[in-house]
Structure 1
Amino acid sequence: MHPFDEITVDQLRAAGSTKWTMFPDAIGAFVAEMDFGVPPAVADVVRTAADTQAMGYLPAADRAAAKRATAGWLARSFDWQVPEDNVHLLPDVLSAMRIAIQRFTPPGSPVIVPTPAYMPFLTVVPALNREVIEVPSILEEDGRYRLDLDAIDAAFAAGAGLLVLCNPWNPVGRVLTRDELTDVAEVVDRHGGRVFSDEIHAPLVLDDLPHLPYASLDARTAGHTITAVAASKGWNIPGLKCGQMILSNDDDVAAFAPYATDAGDTVGLLGGRAVVAAYDKSQDWLDNVVTYLRGNRDLLVDMVDQIPGLRISPVEGTYIAWLDCRELDLPGGPAQFFRREAGVALTDGNLCGAAGEGFARLIFAMPRPVLRKALERMRAAVIGR
């Protein structure tokens, strides 16, 4: 038995995260975090901080170490050579997205969000008094999604200034290929647009595919991209709030320089030190997690096949499953139905954009016996309705 299999629902509820306390009578599968704890090196950081009462601001030396660790991880993992000074520490990916919109796009210009999308992409933009242009992506017969490049092109032509690119793609599980990314670059370059590339799930590629940082493709993409990465998904430390924004051209570095200090001061000591522990000392832990997630993904595919009328998009990366429930025509929507009838808490697909109507998002980064129980409950609810 794998050690992750031994983690119980009672232990997860006792830990107190939103995922397991918002619906105390349901299996939590709606918040994108893992149920596998954290790497020992990260736990040591937190334990040492408590023992030494180190809860203050992040010192300059630790800030530099976190930037250096990020650059080293990008080089080792993706052969992307990023100068340390081009790495900026921010609390999370959405902080980087706000900066990309406010600092690197024309004032008032709309933002293109391909859908289905990570839910906050559709709320952060209007909160900044910008229009969201939803571009529904193309769903192939095999359940894979591809970007609608013609619609993205039209949105840029209509005045949009920024494309939000999510790769690996939350919630549909795609890992975009070099050809796909190059096609995106041609559209963006033709209109002089910008790209915000959310690559937070880059450590979690499950198939034998490379993750290709969009900005690393060529001079064009380096010139028009702001990239966000983090250790929060791969090493399960979202609560420590230390993401990284990567600037990949000299003009952007210069333009952001007056704001860099204030932006970086929003990161705490624990988060900065945890980034070093994750990137520099916890690759083996991540490898073990990815192997376990592959097994969960395979179980998920097998069991979804046993639920009449339910389909799943192929999951190439992330620990997120995108379930097509349209054929079931579930009353109140999929999330409400499965929460009420199966005791499984999912995210309703309509929160991911209009293209998500009739779908549901399921987080499968949980102990395998718990995942099996969730899917058994869902199958019984569908068959018994």
Structure 2
Amino acid sequence: MIRDFTEDEARRALVLKWGTVDPDVLPAWVAEMDYALAPPVAEALQRAVTDGVTGYPPALVNAALGEAYAGFARRHYGQQVDPEQVLPTSDVTAGVRVALDVLSEPGPLVLPTPAYHPQFGLGHCTDREIWELPLDPDAGEVRLDLDRLDDLFSRGATTLLLTQPHNPLGHVHTRAELEGVRDVALRHGARVISDEIHAPLVLPGAEHVPYLSLDGTAEHAVAVLAASKAFNTPGLRCAQIVTSDPAARNRLLAEPMARNDSWSPLGEVAAIAAYEDGDAWLAALVARLDEQRTLLDELLAEHLPEARVRPLEATFLAWLDLRAYGHDDPATVALDKGRVQLEAGHRYQPGLDGHARLNIATSPERLTEIVVRLGRALG
């Protein structure tokens, strides 16, 4: 059910990932998958384009989108979501910015690091300081430091941006971890914004617990999510802000259009099709990614035996510790000597040398060639 793009197809379809690198480079950097669209999504988009659905999107509350996501959350997470509490936004980072502007009190934003690098820009966009909550990427288990979070809230931070599942470390926060976050937030009257864009991509052995599914979270939290990462549609520009508190929803609805606009009607079409009809394709994708993470472990053992890779519990983005090979910036070496493009670790945590992020959402043959090239370049 998962169809791999040929290189020619990938260069036409993935204009950033493949279209901006030299012809001899294998791209394994930005979070796009080298797979053709899920047929239900492609068919829905083709019908919409034939029908001329290229005008403005409908009103802020799209009943069909809310119903579609509510059904998806119920089937996949056992979560009850009120469809009227699902609001569109252009993408997840924009949705986080809207939630910060509208719902959060003034004050610093706590950001667990390493972090998805555009999140560092949220401080500038919302006139807030970013206070880092470091995670140890080399620890046996990644865990949020709740004592330090408590201290940051005590010193004036007002909001935690929680990315779960985590990007770039591929960690899935447990129910106990999230309950600990909730308890600290409640103690300080703080807000939590939960970025759950990778939730559909939790791999076998782990379980996604939506933050809003926990008791006691409705009045201080929102989730921002999308079908775009799991179904490879980021260019269609439609994410969702999910609330459980009617007061928070009403505050979002009351904002001027200039605060939250520019999502796409084609993005809504794709999201509805993915949420309603994409389960079988998504299951096949998760199975493929499970196979790819196993293959990655085997390839690293053969070609980069000194590399350490974080256990990949979710996403298709593997976090590599390559310090044993003696390069401060292994991503640059990989590109210059191996013609493989990775994401440099220091983009996710400034000053963090010797690490890189590798996208495994490609064919087994291409992943094999990527790691072989890395072994030659770094070894």
What is the TM-score normalised by the length of structure 2? 0.94
Structure 2 residue 94 is matched with structure 1 residue 98: no
Corresponding position of 1:255: 251
In the TM superposition, structure 1's runs of 4+ consecutive aligned residues that sit over 6 Å from their partners are none
Structure 2 residue 67 is matched with structure 1 residue 71: no
Return closer, same or farther for 1:139/1:370 CA change in 2, 3 Å cut-off: closer
Return closer, same or farther for 1:134/1:344 CA change in 2, 3 Å cut-off: same
Residue 368 of structure 1: how far off its partner (Å): 1.4
Corresponding position of 1:228: 224
Return closer, same or farther for 1:16/1:293 CA change in 2, 3 Å cut-off: closer
Corresponding position of 2:113: 115
Corresponding position of 2:125: 127
Corresponding position of 1:28: 27
**Kept in 2: contact 1:30–1:361 (CA 8 A):** yes
Residue 130 of structure 1: how far off its partner (Å): 1.1
**Kept in 1: contact 2:62–2:87 (CA 8 A):** no
Residue 122 of structure 1: how far off its partner (Å): 0.9
Q: Distance in 2 between matches of 1:209 and 1:16?
A: 29
**Kept in 2: contact 1:88–1:260 (CA 8 A):** no
Return closer, same or farther for 1:216/1:60 CA change in 2, 3 Å cut-off: same
Q: Which runs of 5+ in 2 are unaligned?
A: none
Amino acid at match of 1:228: V
Corresponding position of 2:44: 45
Structure 2 residue 169 is matched with structure 1 residue 172: yes
Return closer, same or farther for 1:103/1:264 CA change in 2, 3 Å cut-off: closer
**Kept in 1: contact 2:170–2:317 (CA 8 A):** yes
Residue 52 of structure 1: how far off its partner (Å): 2.6
Amino acid at match of 2:268: G
Q: Deviations over 1:222-281 (max 9, x none)?
A: 221110111001111111111000011133123223128666642221111111110001
Structure 2 residue 376 is matched with structure 1 residue 377: no
Using the TM superposition, name which of 193-202 and 54-63 deviates more.
54-63
**Kept in 2: contact 1:194–1:225 (CA 8 A):** yes
Query: Helix, strand or coil: the match of 2:172?
Result: coil
**Kept in 2: contact 1:308–1:382 (CA 8 A):** no
User: Superposition RMSD on alpha carbons, in Å?
Assistant: 1.9
Corresponding position of 2:286: 290
Equivalent residues, number: 377
Q: Distance in 1 between matches of 2:138 and 2:186?
A: 26
Q: Deviations over 1:154-205 (max 9, x none)?
A: 2111111110111111100111111111111111111111111000011001
Return closer, same or farther for 1:356/1:74 CA change in 2, 3 Å cut-off: farther
Residue 49 of structure 1: how far off its partner (Å): 2.6
Residue 139 of structure 1: how far off its partner (Å): 4.2
Q: Distance in 2 between matches of 1:176 and 1:111?
A: 20
Q: Distance in 2 between matches of 1:139 and 1:31?
A: 20
Q: Which runs of 5+ in 1 are unaligned?
A: none
Match of 1:314 among 300, 303, 311: 311
Return closer, same or farther for 1:327/1:80 CA change in 2, 3 Å cut-off: same
Corresponding position of 1:189: 186
Q: Distance in 2 between matches of 1:218 and 1:12?
A: 44
Corresponding position of 1:138: 136
What is the TM-score normalised by the length of structure 1? 0.93
